[in-house]
Amino acid sequence: MFKAGYITVVGKPNAGKSTLVNKLVGFKVAITTPKPQTTRFNIKGIVTSKTSQMIFIDTPGVHTPEHKLGKYMMKGVQNAISNVDLIIYLIDASKPKMDMANEKIMQDIVKTKKNVILVINKVDIVEKEKILKIIEVYTNYFKSINGEFKEIIPISVYKNDGLDILIENIEKYLPEGEPFYEQDEITDITQKELVEEIIREKALNSLLEEVPHGIKVEVEKFKERENENGNFIYDIEANIICNKESHKGIIIGKDGQCLKKIKTLALKDIKEALDGRVNLKLWVKVRKNWQQNENYLKDIKNKIC
């Protein structure tokens, strides 16, 4: 009896959704940073075993949109919870405060009438009594809106604790069926998109707080060739897009040091991901209010619609 299905991982920004998906897949399919709203579109991570195929959907953190980009991100979350077999609602045990964002997530989940597993992450850094209180608060609220968690599973992604129990319980609620993807497939993200995300990750981790949410990365050239020894070489040219001229100067840095740092960090991960030699060129360009411009949001919009 083989099972196969889609599982959405939903939660507030920085709950650890991307880190969890990466750990379950065993490969970095989604970028991770300490900055909220790092994930901008739904990314699939695929785990295939002898008994099941689990297609995890990593979603943007739930927040109140301030521009068209944010609206598209939240539309992606809505689509992800409506068209799956199971929902994982992930909570950061170190930041468990029940607020309007939490309530909105649970209200949206209840409307889908899907099976839901409450997963509490980072339990290794929180006292047991606090974890029990978190469970009580979230369970009571979910019941008050006619919801029910099928399972409640404490985990620590960092310490690899509880993930085997989580996998067992996910498989329990998946429907029987044939796999949707080939056994060796682990994600639906393209090589070009992967490169864009890696560069953006390194930029987010290298920049000041006021800059990251106003940047995006566009690969203009992605050429794969093979040398005489049969080794792959990738010629890549990409633009880091920002909102303001002042941000451009920050991204480049004094004597170009910040941009050099971003390039060095990105090159390391891109080489590993593509398993080949990489020639990378980066430029910084200003496109004012790109987060409100449909022409600059086509890539994200196309992934949602």
Q: For 146-150, 227-231, 269-273, 301-305, which range has the lowest pLDDT when averaged over its residues?
A: 301-305
175 touches 3 (CB < 8 A): yes
- What integer is the mean pLDDT of 278-289? 94
Q: Residue 175 is encoded by which pair of tokens?
A: 């429907």
> Which pLDDT value is given to residue 301?
65
Give pLDDT tens digits for 186-201.
998 899 999 999 999 9
CA 186, chain centre distance (Å) = 14
Q: What is the mean pLDDT of residues 243-263?
A: 93
Mean pLDDT value across the chain? 89
Say how far apart CA 133 and CA 158 lie, in whole Å: 22
Q: How far apart are CA 179 and CA 17, in angstroms?
A: 24
Q: What is the pLDDT of residue 72?
A: 67
- Tell me, what's the pLDDT at 2? 96
In the predicted model, what is the mean pLDDT of residues 104-127?
94
pLDDT in the model for residue 77: 73
Query: At 44, phi and psi to the nearest 5?
Result: -95, 135
Give the CA angle between residues 196, 198, 203 to the nearest 5°.
95
- Residues whose CB is less than 8 angstroms from the CB of residue 224 and which lie 6 or more positions away in sequence, other chains included: 232, 233, 234, 276
- What is the mean pLDDT of the segment spanning 272-299? 87
- Does residue 163 surpass a pLDDT of 80? yes
**Quick one: pLDDT at residue 304?**
59
Least confident of 18-32, 59-73, 91-105, 182-196: 59-73
How far separated are the first and last CA of the chain, in Å rounded? 33
Residue of 191, 175, 190 lying closest to 54 (CA atoms): 175
Among 39, 43, 33, 37, smallest CA distance to 265 is for: 33
pLDDT band at 212 (very low <50, low <70, confident <90, very high): low
Q: Which residue segments constitute the domains of the chain, with CATH numbers given?
A: 3-172 (3.40.50.300), 191-304 (3.30.300.20)
Question: What does the pLDDT read at residue 64?
Answer: 64
- The pLDDT, as a whole number, for residue 71 is 73
Decide if 11 contacts 61 (C-beta within 8 A): yes
Q: Record the tokens describing residue 77, joined without a space.
A: 């979350």
Concatenating the DSSP letter of every residue in the chain gives --EEEEEEEE-STTSSHHHHHHHHHTS--S---SSTT---S-EEEEEE-SSEEEEEEE-PPP----SHHHHHHHHHHHHHHHS-SEEEEEEETTS----HHHHHHHHHHHHHT-EEEEEEE-GGGS-HHHHHHHHHHHHHHHHHTT---SEEEE-BTTTTBSHHHHHHHHHHTSPB---SS-TT--BS--HHHHHHHHHHHHHHHHS-TTSGGG-EEEEEEEEEEE-TTS-EEEEEEEEEEES-HHHHHHHH-GGGHHHHHHHHHHHHHHHHHHTSEEEEEEEEEE-TTGGG-GGGSHHHHHHH-
What letter represents residue 167's amino acid? I
Higher pLDDT, 72 or 17: 17
pLDDT confidence of residue 65: 59
| Span 69-101, pLDDT tens digits | 767 666 777 777 888 999 999 999 998 888 888
What span, in angstroms and rounded, lies between the C-alpha atoms of 53 and 88?
16
**Res 98: pLDDT:** 86
Residue 223 pLDDT greater than 70, yes or no: yes
89 vs 305: which has the higher pLDDT: 89
Angle at which helix 257-274 crosses helix 245-252, to 10 degrees, equals 70
